[in-house]
Amino acid sequence: MQKKYYTILFLLISTVIWSQDTNTEESNQINIVYGANFTKNEVKYPGASIFSKDEKQVQFEHQGADLWCDIAIFYQHENRLKAIGNIRLQQGDSVKMTSGKIEYDGNIKLAKAYESVVLENTDMTLKTDTLRLDREKQEAFYQDFGTVVDSANTLTSEIGKYFMETKKYQFLDSVHVQNPEYTLDSEQLDYYTSSKNAYMYGPSTIIGKSYKIYCERGFYDTKIESGYGIKNTRIDYNDRIIQGDSVYFNKAKEFASATNNIVVTDTINNGLIRAHYAEVYKAKDSLFATKRAVSISVMEKDSLYMHGDTLMITGKPEERILRAFRNAKFYKKDLSGKCDSIHSEQKTGITQLIRNPILWNGENQMTGDSIHLISNLKTEKLDSLKVLNNAFIISQDTIGKTGFNQAKGKDLFGKFEENELKIIDLIKNTEVIYYMYNDDDELIGINKTICSEIRITMANNDVEDLVFKTNPDGTIFPETELPENSRKLKGFIWRGDERILTKEDIFDEDDNNIELVVIRGISNPIDIDAEEEERSKNEGDPVNKSTSNNTNNKATKPKKAKVQIE
């Protein structure tokens, strides 16, 4: 009987107040749409009105949002309520939330939902155990693990925040993105559900079917598997590892590029490329590098450094071809050289120095129209040397320091043992000028000889023995009897000041004074979505304006009664 009395009283009061306030401005008060069964329990819920469902659920409305539940404990004077059982909160056509329990404060428009919370927007679903929904700021927040599913990805994290107006998530702590094509793990991730763009902060790893990316600041378009890293970035791409200040990757184009302080590691051939700009084309199995570019081939107890204004590597792992274009130089212990360009082919083991080549072996300077270095394909050590057409070898007299030992011929062929040049054969129209000393380092004379072939035996990169073959014709001149102008063979050019003595000498002044590109977003990735949003606002884009949830607009439904219950 008492229950019926309260229900009739509630309906009468509602009717009276409805008629009085239909023309007044809607207040901040939570409104009762359907109260069903009404009761009170001052012992357990002092000051609260208790509503429970009958055939229909209890319904409340507050500034554009409707809430349905099985039981509601409504503190009208405090403008808050507790809802229990089969909760459904609907905000316009875009936001829907279900849960087992909810607490809602109408003064600050803050809802706290518990038990199997599900928040649905037009293009995503969020599931968590506890969720705070701030309708004033249009933000949702969880800190006890949550799962977000949209049309492309499943995202999980310990902590998450959702910005409804921009459809942006901010995930913190143990962030994981699962996609059929890849996985992404990060310390912090900003994710836009509309564009499917992800912005990574802190250590982050993306693993795809044919690549692995690590960075500590970066951007990733999850739709097309494309993006960049701008802090401590590394991409494991096929048989290469790419590192640099800024590294870009595009799966569809099978392309990666890097800028500033780049290291590209060939994991199969144990080689490195260092530069300040590089491009890798996976489908073509090629690499392009420039700006202080150097190739480093790791060899036993030594490394070969090769530089050019531009480096290009093409071919499959066992058939790599390296080309160095313009101002090409190379250096390894006891062997260095320079020319216009270098062509090195792994399959044949031949490295060609092309156009104006010069080679230094210890103190010995070698020149010719073309120079070839041949490696042993099994041991990968230097095997032999060819200097073709106009071969000329010069070394300064190491004792007297005033003259030059010289040998020339049409071609020169050399033989290496354990990467050290041991034998040199000069053939066809050979000539020699050689300073001869006794055991006390006293000059005996200057040997000047012409013959068809000369063999020079080397030890510690110095001449140990000379053998003249096939009709030699020579004379040993006392130093005083051989004029200065006769002490140099025709074509003699000494280029000792150009000799490359260290690996740093392969770079010229321009290489060492390169100004590096300023990388934007080192502190934080450039937020493309935020920039687009700001640009749209500044341009007054009507489409952009219409995408908001219209939460600041007044409700279009009829105004509900303001009920006072004592």
- Please state the separation of Cα 488 from the chain's center in Å: 56
Q: Which amino acid is at 543?
A: V
Q: What CA–CA distance (Å, rounded) separates 513 from 510?
A: 5
Beta bridge partners of 110: 105, 134
- For the cut 60, the answer to whether the pLDDT of residue 545 exceeds it is no
pLDDT tens by residue, 49-80 = 999 999 899 999 998 899 999 999 999 999 99
The confidence score (pLDDT) of residue 543 equals 46
pLDDT band at residue 300 under the 50/70/90 scheme: low
Q: What CA–CA distance (Å, rounded) separates 307 from 332?
A: 12
Question: Which of residues 500 and 11 earns the better pLDDT score?
Answer: 500
pLDDT tens by residue, 138-152 = 999 999 899 999 988
Q: What CA–CA distance (Å, rounded) separates 396 from 125?
A: 80
The confidence score (pLDDT) of residue 362 equals 85
Residue 229's contacts (CB-CB under 8 Å, 6 or more residues apart) are: 200, 213, 214, 215, 216, 217, 218, 235, 246, 247
The confidence score (pLDDT) of residue 561 equals 33
The confidence score (pLDDT) of residue 220 equals 93
Q: Long-range contacts made by residues 322-330, C-beta under 8 angstroms, separation at least 24?
A: 322/295, 322/346, 324/295, 327/508, 328/353, 329/500, 329/505, 329/506, 330/304, 330/305, 330/306, 330/500, 330/506
Residues 324, 339 contacting (CB under 8 angstroms):
no
What is the rounded average pLDDT for all residues in the chain?
85
All structural domains of the chain, each given as residue ranges with its CATH number in brackets, are 352-509 (2.60.450.10)
Counts of helices then strands in the chain (DSSP H, E): 4, 40
The confidence score (pLDDT) of residue 263 equals 94
- For the cut 80, the answer to whether the pLDDT of residue 218 exceeds it is yes
Give the count of beta carbons closer than 10 Å to the beta carbon of residue 52.
Answer: 18
The C-alpha R_g of the chain, in whole angstroms, comes to 41
Torsion, Cα 315 502 386 309, to 10 degrees, reads 40
